[in-house]
Amino acid sequence: MLAFVAIFTIFLGVLSLWILKRIKHFRLRDELGLRGPPVSYLHGNLGDILAYVKKNGVSRSPWFRIEMAKKYGETMGMYFGTLFEISSTNLDFAREVMITQFHNFTDREAPTIHNAYPMENGLLQITGKTNKGFGWKDVRSIVSPVFTSGKMKKMHQTILERVDAFVDELDRKTRNGKTHMDIYDEWQALTLDTIARVAFGVNCNSIQDRNDVFYTNCQAFFQLLGLDKSWITVPLSFMFPAIGPYLRPLSDLAQVERPLVQKLKEAIAKRKKMIGTAEAEERPDLIQLLLEQDLERQNTENKPPLGDDVVLSNCHSFLLAGYETTSTALAYCTWLLAKHGDVQERLYDEIIETFSNDQPIDYEKAMKSEYLDCVYRETLRLYPPVVHFTARQCVNDTIVTGIRIPKGAYVSVPVQCVHWKEEYWPNAMQFDPDRFFSPEAKKSLAWMPFGVGPRHCVGIRFAEMEFKTAIIAAVRRFRFSIDEKEKGDLPIRINAVLMRPTDGVKLFVEKRQ
């Protein structure tokens, strides 16, 4: 009996301490002098997001933070479960956090459910310091050289082959004339096949077969990222971060991830055996380049090898980061071109002048096409596919633009809020590629679809090359249009860190004569 009383008393003591700590944590925002929506001690402000979406519809989810900023200021505080985030659209704030004071903000913000195998050592997730003797900087220094323009040129041939297969498939689908289709689905198949081949040497063929293991499981993975889809495990990991990593194996995410991980393991094992062969030299993939960089570092800097788990985590990062993002950008672009026929025809003229109808698309020329570059930039400004990933965890107490930021707090620069701010982009909601003829617009910090500073998107060159090659191939062969009645706004939604079309992108595709 005495033992029971003692245990119960200890339990009550620990529980009280835990509750007090939690209450103190939820008062942090007030202590820092920041404003934000009233907080629930259970879920923080998660309930506000769900209530907002319920009231206004999921298509308004990208406007949640904009409305919060209008109410509480351009730099404000919110709690996602216990995750305390200072969110700002102020460019001085963004510059300090992402660039000048990067040493104080090396880690990315993410729910703890992703701090687990197979993601934890991948670039998307890895922290500045790990307990394994390496951290973000080590992995980034191995991965960055994989994406230099020399290496990109080598990969361009593989991209061209996939783009050709994509155009042939659209040809087949439009052989009876103008055809109504979900172009998002088509672009997803293209970008998945491309990343699978270019990154892992895997010949998946979802352009023709949507039952491909990569295609079905990657699609399911992105669906499940939303709070509303993984509605137990993801919110629980926000509310009780300590249990997040243990929830992952139980989550639906793990179910769809398992076959992908198996495929990636096979691809890594195969590629390891090919190192040094003529075939590997001629057609390098990202795994090979990663393994080579790792070897070089071991030889020249006497560093220990990264190990198979780290290589696997990074391949997982390439797969997730490299397919959904680019397909979403391509879908937005074709929808905007279909809506703005004049822009489409002007782009077509530039393309035909530079690349005749059957000429292979030259990498250098594609990168130099001026109007195409404006269309690319304006698409990503108006519809940035990744919106809430430009977020960091503070690793040392510091002060940013006069605001005290304690170690452990998160800071975020929500991309759509910056891109849609009239102060930075006049007539922000208008699609106007011409604005990017101005060199100031090209250099502006307020254009941040790939993030900012040393931790910006490592795949930026790859994404640009794939996007531009695919748009040239598509626009020179097909005309895209939409019904007058569908010319309103495209329904979009926030899914975790992504902003994507709610229900596909339906438009008409017809062959040009």
- Residue ranges for the binding site for heme? 457
**111 is a contact residue toward ligand HEM (CB under 6 A):** no
Task: Enumerate the known binding-site residues.
Answer: 457
Which residues touch 283 (CB under 8 Å, ≥6 apart)?
158, 201
Please tell me the distance from the alpha carbon of residue 409 to that of residue 400, in angstroms, as a whole number. Answer: 12
Interface with ligand HEM (CB under 6 A), residue from 76, 289, 452, 496: 452
Using the rule CB under 6 A, which residue among 197, 271, 455, 476 binds ligand HEM?
Answer: 455
Peptide bond into 118 cis (omega under 30): yes
Residues 366-425 contacting ligand HEM, CB under 6 A: 385-386, 389-390
322 binds ligand HEM (CB under 6 A): yes
113 vs 415 by CB, closer to ligand HEM? 415
d(CA 231, CA 250): 13
DSSP string over 281-343:
HHS--HHHHHHHHHHHHHHHH-PPP--HHHHHHHHHHHHHHHHHHHHHHHHHHHHHHHH-HHH
Q: Which residue lies nearer to ligand HEM by CB, 75 or 194?
A: 194
Q: Which amino acid is at 390?
A: T
Contact string (CB under 6 A) for ligand HEM, positions 460-479, x = contact: --xx----------------
Residue 26: partners with Cβ closer than 8 Å, 6 or more residues away: 39, 41, 44, 79, 82
Binding mask 272-291 for ligand HEM (x = CB under 6 A): --------------------
Stretch touching ligand HEM by CB under 6 A, among 57-65, 272-280, 317-325, 368-376: 317-325
Question: By CB under 6 A, which span of 68-76, 84-92, 357-365, 454-462 interacts with ligand HEM?
Answer: 454-462
DSSP per position, 443-455: H-TT--TT-SSTT
Residues 231-250 contacting ligand HEM, CB under 6 A: none
Residue count, binding to ligand HEM (CB under 6 A): 26
- Tell me the Ramachandran region of residue 240: left when phi exceeds 0, alpha when psi lies from -120 to 50, beta otherwise: beta
DSSP 8-state assignment for residue 39: -
Strand partners, 480: 509
Residue 332 touches ligand HEM, criterion: CB under 6 A? no
CB of 191 to ligand HEM, least distance (A): 8
Q: How many CB atoms lie within 10 A of CB 34?
A: 20
The window from 53-61, 166-174, 450-458, 486-494 that contacts ligand HEM (CB under 6 A) reads 450-458
If one asks whether residue 201 binds ligand HEM (CB under 6 A), the answer comes out as no
155-158-163-169 Cα dihedral, nearest 10 degrees = -160
Give min distance, CB of 117 to ligand HEM, in A. 17
* Smallest separation (angstroms) from ligand HEM to the CB of 443: 17
- The least CB distance from residue 138 to ligand HEM, in Å, is 11
> Residues interacting with ligand HEM, by CB under 6 A?
108, 123-124, 140, 317-318, 321-322, 325-326, 329, 385-386, 389-390, 449-452, 455-459, 462-463
